[in-house]
Structure 1
Amino acid sequence: MSGRTGGGLFTRSHTPVGTWLKIASTEPAEIMAFAGFDFVVVDLEHAPLDLVTAYRLITTAAALGVTPIVRVPDKTPSTIQKVLDAGAMGIL
């Protein structure tokens, strides 16, 4: 894992910085990575995003060293498993 992703996110000496992604485009995730953000939250609950878009956002963020967290629209095991399988490192 890169220096910004994974379990060490909240154990380092600085406060992690992140934001929410609610747009069906990977460009904001890329901008957040280049700006040095530590995490992004992909909002599937209150944004018009589907699982295919979430996969793209999750994999883009992770590939650029930003921890992807997902707010799921429901608590069904199948939804949670799908976003975890896509590479989400946290669930809200």
Structure 2
Amino acid sequence: MTEEVPQKPWSKSPHDNVNVSGFTIQNGGNGIHLYMCNGVMLSDNAVMLNGYDGIRLEASSSNTISGNTIASNGFDGIAAEDSN
């Protein structure tokens, strides 16, 4: 499945214990932006050609990033701010 993400985030509200797997996410701002999210699993996604970070974690904890292809994004492949 291919998802063309607009420049705005998918959701402004935090979500916990979500599994995002098997997507192609491209041509957006941040490919995936987790803000105040906990227990999220990001696996087997292709995250590419986004203007900012491929995957950005902000004020988030206990998330798992595994088996993703992250390439050709404008800034960092994976960026973490106030996250663990």
TM-score with structure 2 setting the length: 0.38
Specify which structure has the higher proportion of strand.
Answer: 2
TM score, norm. by length of structure 1: 0.36
Larger Rg: 1
